[in-house]
Chain A
């Protein structure tokens, strides 16, 4: 009995469906209006889930066009301008409207108050405002796309974006600017919630590591996003009002744009990976039935990444003409930031070591994360080294590197978290076999798509080209073939998760026998999260107390 997960056991005394709907946050006083004006962090999390999913598929459609175009060496599907617009759309939408909000605003919103045993985030109305800002910003970006698109790339490099581009740069920049305030609002909310709303008995070093990861992410969001807002403001005013901060004709320096932009955008890379690390930590420790290895080291590693991440932006500019000493310093610091990342990888592996690992779908995603993040991180060291970067700069090697982190890492982690907390969010169990197949498909499809791009980059294929010599075709065909598998792997969850909403089995409150306060309330939780105050006993990850037999018989 005790070795069987709850999901395989018939739960007695199950409530009828209509009562679950009426007594949970999902259905209490249900109306569309009540959802659109809600200040409940759980509902806002769901709103974010819907909007980020939408943006994910918009960005994914652009990626599909890119891979179709690159199937053949000639530029036959898209014009060169069209290709520029498509990869810009892909970058802008995926970075600012999917990757940045996806885990902090969907899972973070839903889980942080639950994990802290609180009723809501500190500023519920600000939280709702952040969703609307995100939607308005996204609407601007989509408007720019429909009006004819942008062709600068997601980095908006000057002087191209200010002096030459005739596309809708300002409109897109305004959209990103607005969504930046949504990010800041979420960051303020998370930091204040963690500081002021922890329950009695939960000290800083007894918080779940997911909450720590959201805290570290919020620090980065708050300190870097305003700089992006300023650099975009300067860009917009240069285009619209003729103020010439980056215009060489008026004494300005386009390289200053790169400095300010990467001062945001490199830390933003960590906005797009730290929350994933938090999710994966929760999942791995649960399905290994082991307490996390080196809790304090995990916390310090998160904070170290957050801090050091602010001092490595120059490694994007090795070829931009910055001084050799600056390049060497940034190179050194970029190697340093790999140390805490490696600590985390070693700790995940040490957590699994001698664990009783079971391969639920979220665990498969999480293990995929560890492998893909490691590869992405190690190739980051190639690029951090100045001489190697001179060879690889602006090639597909860079594209492969950051997709291993962003897609292989963050998207895997998001799917891991979505599956892990799906029973809590919806009160339904998803079909396990289908999910396991999707997780494995994603891992293989991902590697087939992006591993050939490392090779392409190394043999000289530059990024952002829509036509290429015949010699590169075999690798591009492999990559496009992988993208088909990857697309199937991303579409599958859409179908079976929606299926489970209606036909899935009812989830008990703790289907994985996980620790953590969020599992002490009903699935789905009631409006104010807990009917009785949650109990905080022992440490967060008491899966396998020392000196005790494995998985003791529980009395429930």
Chain B
């Protein structure tokens, strides 16, 4: 392909972009680069779904095997904190989505504000989560505790899954916050073009996934015990 052809094909979201500094040398044009970045993250999210899928499979198996023990154990989770956290995370999903939209329109100040809001909500989420963990520890709700309050063995299974699921989710939140932090810093330093570069969109996709996982975790761990 000649340079002229490349330049014509290179007319993308960012305009004529064959010469954009955001373009890596092994891509023909920004359209190809954006397509690669998007597809790459979607595939990564598919692997994440299977990663969490192993946990959900374990939960499903044991919830079917021991329905009563699981209901009893699930009644001990802190439903108020869990629900507040759901609201916080969903709101941060909104601000992240708006940040992606704003980045597409090259609105730097809005992007920075919205990312800051997302980070703030994420930090409050983690704070609430930490407080909840502290309460759980106070109630001896961890499987190795000698004073574990629930008698049935499946309750320990439930609480093993509780720590795994929420812990893994919290790690994902931490990674997301770190990513947003770096992007916020870079946006402040104006070190990358918001439109030519797909990093805000990529981070937004990832954040959406972390939100989505919580929407499965919340009913399984917090709501189920309140059904009866």
Contact = CB atoms under 8 A, between A and B. Distances in A.
A253 to B, nearest CB: 7
Contacts of B164: 233-234, 237, 243, 245
B47 A184 contact: yes
B156 interface: yes
Given A242-B144, A533-B1, A256 B58 contact: yes
Given A119-B25, A192-B36, A245 B50 contact: no
B36 A123 contact: yes
B182 interface: no
Interface stretch (A160-168, A194-202, A404-412, A423-431): A194-202
Nearest to B34: A196
Interface SS of chain A: helix
Nearest to A41: B26
Interface in A241-284: 241-245, 249-253, 256, 260
Interface stretch (A147-155, A221-229, A300-308): A221-229
B151 to A, nearest CB: 12
A171 B38 CA distance: 35
Contacts of A533: 1
B51 interface: yes
A222 B46 contact: yes
Contacts of A227: 50-51, 53-54
Contact of A250 (B44, B157, B163): B157
Contacts of A199: 1
Nearest to B157: A251
Contacts of B52: 230
Interface residues of B, number: 41
Given A197-B32, A226-B47, A250-B160, A118 B26 contact: yes
A223 B47 CA distance: 6
Given A196-B35, A230-B55, A249-B153, A120 B26 contact: yes
Given A244-B156, A256-B61, A226 B53 contact: yes
B44 A188 contact: yes
Given A196-B32, A244-B156, A122 B58 contact: no
Nearest to A193: B36
B47 A225 contact: yes
B4 interface: no
Given A234-B164, A260-B54, A191 B43 contact: yes
B66 interface: yes
Nearest to B49: A226
A250 B50 CA distance: 25
A275 to B, nearest CB: 19
A231 interface: yes
B36 A230 contact: no
A116 to B, nearest CB: 11
A504 interface: no
Contacts of A250: 143, 153, 156-157, 160
A251 B153 contact: yes
8 contacts: A188-B47, A234-B54, A242-B143, A243-B143, A243-B164, A244-B160, A245-B160, A250-B153
Interface of B: 1, 24-27, 32, 35-36, 39-40, 43-44, 46-55, 57-58, 61-62, 65-66, 69, 143-144, 152-154, 156-157, 160-161, 163-164, 168
